[in-house]
Structure 1
Amino acid sequence: MARTPLIAGNWKMNLDHLEAIATVQKLAFALPKEYYEKVDVAVTVPFTDLRSVQTLVEGDKLQITYGAQDVSEHESGAYTGEISATMLAKLGCSWVVTGHSERREYHGETNAQVAAKSKAALGKGISPIVCVGEPLEVREKGTHVEYVVEQTKASLEGLSAEELSRTVIAYEPVWAIGTGKVASAADAQEVCHALRNLIRDLAGEEVAEGMRILYGGSVKADTVAEIVGQPDVDGGLVGGASLDGQAFAKLAANAAGPLN
């Protein structure tokens, strides 16, 4: 089964709602529409940018999709500062990032919380991009594959095969996020292949072959083609390189490959 690459920009805590409009406009202008047949392009933006991005995407009928960087596992109620999946769905979100290493590290998010947040999103028709990855000490010990497989299994706990078919996994080695260090294409393939085998065990061949597994961690325009060229890597979760609309368009075009 041919999987269309997904290039998802994670803006993190950058760009206010006015900068968001300018960035998405630049991205849309710089990426010719022919490329969208070969690559899916998304941005995950701060909550305060969502309405502006929604208005622009819908008003200009852009082929870019968008989403949020976190979601509450709760439906509604006395959870100060939280944002529910229902709220995100009303804003037209296609995606939500769950379990990013920065959320796990700075906010103490557990695998169980990541699974609950992902399930909440799926219940409202939003696809979670579930982030997993090993710290440097695990990589140096050589136990990274086992570590990431176990982390992923726990982060998907309780999701049905149907829910998994609407889920994306992003492998982000923690030591490569924002450091400029990049896992080699072979490193990315090794872990993504193991993750596809895990999904095969959890949900069967069809779901495993259809699931998109991304690589994240200092993805750049000049490295993305080789990474996406690996048999089990289906795109990238892109941080800093997604903050400039023109540069992100170039990265997405490189991921798409040459037009026929």
Structure 2
Amino acid sequence: MGMYDLSGKVAVVTGGTSGIGLATVELLLEAGAAVAICGRDPDRLASAETDLRRRFPRAKLFAQRCDVLDAAQVQAFADASREALGEAGMLVCNAGQGRVSTFADTSDEAWQEELGLKFFSIIYPIRAFLPQLESQPDAAIACANSLLASQPEPHMVATSAARAGVKSLVRSMATEFAPKGIRVNGILIGLVESGQWRRRFEAREERDLDWTQWTAQLAVKKQIPLARLGLPLEAARALFFLVSPLSAYTTGSHIDVSGGLSRHV
């Protein structure tokens, strides 16, 4: 296993009940880490926990319902996680989805909600787990972000602005936390298969197309050079790399997981 062996280490994944978060949890458990997960939806959390325990019967796993936008709930989750598994040395912040809106049709409430979600879903967990991370060697934080952070889309104006802010926040925290021995990085995803895309697929007008055909068509329309959507596992591997000692000399940076959608050098 070499550097992939994370036994004896504790990882925390917010939004760990589905999609990229769940795929990241699976990779961490496979590598031998103890993992704490949280999610808002109690049913989804319970089913994820049951499935993970069935597939990883010997794994150390802790699951607790938690709204990452509630500071008290996040602190309670951090305390309970430490009680159950020990001090965390890896934190993956992965919560929130995109909001489709233009400047013209984004209300004040929508702006407040979007900026609040994107920032505080990272601020609260990091604040709560920071004392634990400080106590661990090779501590790292990885944040799931979107390519919108550096390549905004006019139809996603609020989300793009919030994502850019979070990208800057990651860079700032990396500098501030470096003396504490904590690395902070992020990933920038393009279009990745998710519940959101599945729902759009179910509502599609082209009923003759199956999922593979429909997503391939979407990839062409969105001009993705690799001509397909990304898989949650592909984004999860990048998060795993950044939160593990594999990336021991990397901080304040972002890995592009967009299938070539980024037009920047």
TM-score in terms of structure 2 length: 0.37
Higher relative contact order (CA 8 A, sep 6+): 1
The structure that has the greater radius of gyration is: 2
TM-score in terms of structure 1 length: 0.37
